[in-house]
Amino acid sequence: MSNMMQHKGYVGSVEYSAEDKTFFGKLDGIRDLVSFEGSDVDSLETSFKEAVDDYLELCKSENRQPEKPFKGQFQVRTKPEIHRGLALAAAKRKTNLNAIAEAAFEAFLALTLKETQGGNKQPQKRNSA
């Protein structure tokens, strides 16, 4: 089960309010606040798609570029000693921090994909007695 919806490259997170008996959400990955809601899955999905389309139309009417989610940049904070170690390792390998981070992220995603597909089972050790 997923609490995410996608439309035209935008992702919306979904929550449920038991008090209001309403599903609601907002677009993730952008600073502009774009929200949507619905009383059931079909109305929620329609509201989400309309919210994305309305956002894009509003940006067009205001003659401004809509924010793009996941544009490939984000800031990473880490301990100074880790930053220093990575920078030195990158220089030694004649590469840069972006290349190291991208390789680490790709490895993490591959592992995550493997785990979600049930491929994370470790081979059983045999007792040789």
List the chain domain ranges. 4-61, 80-116
CB burial string 1-20: b at 16+ within 10 A, e below: eeeebeeeebbbebeeeeee
In this predicted model, what pLDDT tens digit does every residue of 13-54 receive, in sequence order?
A: 999 999 999 999 999 999 999 999 999 999 999 999 999 999
**Which amino acid is located at 118 in the chain?**
G
pTM of the model: 0.65
In this predicted model, what pLDDT tens digit does every residue of 93-107 receive, in sequence order?
A: 999 999 999 999 999
